[in-house]
């Protein structure tokens, strides 16, 4: 049975559950090169934890020199998705991060609702998790395709958890697990408990300074359940 008051655990993907070894950036680069002849480097223009639509928009602004129209942005996102499965499949740096393969089955067996809260659009999230066989643990989530605002998409994930449970679910009974200050801010904005993991580009000290309720060095440590 579950321990404590936690009902749902919502996970970010990149830097928290897996690293794609640069596959995501490669897919963006191929998309801009195919559409505009410019192999854009998203790392020059965007920050970790941003939503896919924001990554696409900011990269477009910086390499094309103007705001994209809604149709242009949609096309960039679509072509990026066309390239993503192959980029993930071919990435030599793809790996599941420490503790994940133990933690997810344990949480599942003990009756926690498991979901995603990620800046990636849903299709991109599913492509990234498929290589490791992790999609089966996550029947719901909040995605960059729901909102460009991380707090709002986290609220969407909590609402979907509530619907799946079929009864009242307080945000304070949800853990939001991520590796960036944006994950921390989204959790707090949605009224959830923020669990920051120093498994990505930010140190434990930086995540603590961002206001995380709990900070772990990896998912090999116990969650605050």
- Per the structure block, which two tokens stand in for 219? 């998912």
| pLDDT value at residue 4 | 55
Please tell me what DSSP assigns to residue 67.
Answer: P
Q: How confident is the model at residue 143 (pLDDT cuts 50, 70, 90)?
A: very high
SS3 sequence of 7-24: CEEEECCECCCEECCCHH
Q: Quick one: CA torsion of 116, 178, 199, 136, rounded to 10 degrees?
A: -10
Residue 45 pLDDT exceeds 90 = no
Residue 216: what pLDDT? 97
Average pLDDT, integer, range 166-191: 95
The overall average pLDDT reported for the chain is 94
Where are the chain's structural domains? Answer: 8-20+94-216, 23-90
- The band of 2, judged by pLDDT with boundaries at 50, 70 and 90, is very low
Is 171 within 8 Å of 3 (Cβ atoms)? no
pLDDT digits (tens, 9 = 90+) for 182-197: 999 999 999 999 999 9
Tell me what the mean pLDDT of segment 70-98 comes to: 97
| pTM > 0.75: yes or no | yes
Output the CA–CA distances (angstroms, integers) from residue 40 to 34, 83, 104, in the order listed.
11, 14, 35
Asked if domains 8-20+94-216 and 23-90 share a fold, the reply is no
d(CA 5, CA 193): 11
What top-level class would CATH report for the domain 8-20+94-216? alpha beta
| Nearest CA among 12, 15, 10, 11 for reference residue 25 | 15
pLDDT for 48: 78
* 59 pLDDT above the threshold of 50: yes
Q: How far apart are CA 208 and CA 187, in angstroms?
A: 14
> What is the reported pLDDT for 1?
34
For residues 147 and 51, give the distance between their C-alpha atoms in angstroms, rounded to a whole number: 8
Q: Which two tokens stand for residue 66?
A: 């103007």
Question: What is the percent of the chain with per-residue pLDDT over 90, rounded to a whole number?
Answer: 90
Q: Choose the CATH number for 23-90 among 1.20.1530, 1.10.150, 1.10.1060, 1.10.287.
A: 1.10.150
């Amino acid at each position: 049975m579950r321990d404590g008051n936690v009902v749902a655990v919502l996970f970010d993907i990149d830097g928290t559950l897996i690293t794609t070894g640069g596959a995501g950036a490669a897919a963006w680069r191929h998309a801009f090169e195919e559409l505009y002849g410019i192999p854009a480097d998203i790392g020059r223009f965007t920050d970790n934890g941003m939503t896919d639509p924001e990554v696409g928009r900011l990269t477009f602004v910086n390499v094309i020199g103007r705001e994209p129209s809604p149709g242009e942005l949609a096309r960039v996102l679509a072509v990026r998705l066309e390239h993503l499965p192959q980029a993930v499949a071919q990435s030599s740096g793809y790996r599941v991060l420490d503790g994940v393969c133990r933690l997810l089955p344990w949480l599942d067996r003990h009756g926690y609702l498991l979901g995603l809260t990620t800046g990636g659009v849903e299709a991109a999230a599913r492509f990234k998790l498929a290589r490791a066989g992790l999609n089966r643990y996550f029947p719901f989530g909040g995605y960059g395709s729901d909102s460009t605002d991380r707090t709002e998409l986290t609220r969407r994930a909590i609402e979907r958890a509530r619907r799946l449970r079929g009864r009242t679910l307080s945000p304070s009974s949800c853990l939001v697990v991520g590796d960036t200050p944006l994950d921390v801010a989204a959790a707090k904005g949605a009224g959830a408990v923020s669990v920051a993991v120093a498994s990505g580009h930010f140190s434990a000290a930086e995540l603590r300074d961002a206001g995380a309720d709990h900070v772990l060095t990896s998912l090999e440590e116990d969650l605050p359940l």
